[in-house]
Amino acid sequence: MRKRKKQAAWSAGRQLAVAAACAVGLASLAGWAASRGKLSAAKADDTKSVPQDAGAPTTKPDTVRILIHTVPPRKARVKWGPKTLGTIPAPRPLVVERPRDSGPLDLVIRAAGYLPVHTRAYTFTDSRVAVKLTPPSEKNKLFGYREEPPTPDGGVPGP
Q: pLDDT tens track of the chain, all 159 residues? A: 565 655 655 566 666 666 666 556 556 666 655 666 654 544 555 555 555 555 556 777 899 999 999 999 999 999 999 999 999 997 899 999 999 999 999 999 999 999 999 999 999 999 999 999 999 999 999 998 888 777 777 667 777
CB 118 within 8 A of CB 79: no
pTM metric for this prediction: 0.57
**Residue 122 phi, psi (nearest 5):** -105, 155
Q: What is the DSSP letter of 74?
A: -
